[in-house]
Structure 1
Amino acid sequence: MAVSAKARYQAALVLALSAGCGNNPPVPEWQQNAFDSMQVYQQLYLRGDTQGAESEFKRARSELTSTGRADLVARAELIRCAAQVASLVFDPCKGFEAVRQDAGAEERAYATYLEGRGPHSATNEPFSQLVAYGVQMRTASIDPQGIANAVEISSSQGWRRPLLAWLGVQLKRAEQAGDSETAARLRRRMELVSG
């Protein structure tokens, strides 16, 4: 089974941030802090807590920049951009662009993929799949089943931000098809999620 670039980046970040385990000296505090903050960032962002997510991302980025390692900063920025793509936010990945010239080929390839201009294979991991559906949406290559799958993934994970975005896509399609019953049901569901 192919491992997605997203999964490889997360694994590389985890390995880089946990390199001090085992018989080695204790893990430097910055590594644990950055790892923890990136995990919290991703969950808060996907749950719709923008302020909390940004605070955690700034904390993680501060820890990573203290090392002077552009590769670690690039990976963190790509995780941030992937969360946005999964939520159908297709803004430029400015944080990554600032370190692109010092990023590795793998990071640049993943950034190209997130822009909808490169290949990728998603894993069975929900976040990876949701990012893949986001890229398909960005490139207008997604079908109704893909949209339904993205809604189901978002819902089953409790990820409010992408769920609202994907329900919005379904709503727009229902309205365009003149399906007022489905549109009304989707509006009620979106109101419930917005709670």
Structure 2
Amino acid sequence: MNAHALSQKAVEAYLSGNTRVEALEWDRARAEVARTGRPDLLARLELLRCAAQVASLDAQPCERFEALRVDAAPAERAYADYLAGRVQPAQIPLLPEAQRKVAAAGDAATLAGTDDPLSRLVAAGVLFQAGRINPPVIAQAVETASAEGWRRPLLAWLTLQVQRAEASGDAGAAATLRRRIAVVEQGAPSR
């Protein structure tokens, strides 16, 4: 229970952009899980961290999970593959329900039906990694991160919107989005 509470604090700190608190809480959560001697639980914890990164368009390999993959349950291995944008159809039934729907359908309507904000952002991040992103998904991700006050994913998704606006030659939209980014950056937490 301690590890769960600590991991939730770590995810919240990560999404809020508070790197100092995030690092402290992840270290504490890992220490709590390590006390169990169960690599499968540690693998699950590392997947949570990777999911938060995917939600924030931070496309790094999930190396800490990969080091534990051999001890992870099939559902965790499927989720890791999903986060990397390479889930196989046979793995979809092993995914959490919210992610299962998006993995099967992969569209904005399915994403909108995802109730949990973090699950919605993770699904949008996976669609981005898989090259199946579209403007409605990006807009949903921006609004989800904004509604939750999650600075890190909000900046990432807004930056993607700026890039898309610039690529389409819409200077007005790009300027509006840059002003929104500036507002978010003004509220940056102290490190």
Q: TM-score, normalised by structure 1?
A: 0.82
Matched, 1:131 2:156: no
Counterpart of 2:80, as a letter, is: A
Aligned pair 1:184/2:137, yes or no?
no
What does 1:1-195 align with in structure 2 at a 5 Å threshold? 32-118=1-87, 119=92, 120-121=100-101, 123-195=114-186
Structure 1 stretches of 5 or more lacking a match?
1-31
Shift of 1:88: 0.1
Count of residues in Structure 1 that have an aligned counterpart in Structure 2: 164
Shift of 1:121: 2.6
Partners of 1:99 and 1:65 in 2: CA distance: 13
SS in 1 for 2:169: coil
Runs of 4 or more, structure 1, over 6 Å off, are: none
Superposition RMSD in Å = 1.0
| Counterpart Cα distance in 1 of 2:50 and 2:19 | 14
For residues 65 and 121 of structure 1, the distance between their equivalents in structure 2, rounded to whole angstroms, comes to 33
**Residue matched to 1:16:** none
**Identical columns (%):** 52
Measure how far apart 1:33 and its partner are: 2.2
Query: Which residue identity is paired with 2:47?
Result: L
Query: What SS does the corresponding residue of 1:172 show, helix, strand or coil?
Result: helix
TM-score of the superposed pair, with normalisation by structure 2: 0.84
| 1:144-170 C-alpha deviation (Å, 9 max, x unpaired) | 000000000000000000000000000
Distance 2:25 2:101 in 1: 28
Q: Aligned partner of 1:179: which letter?
A: D
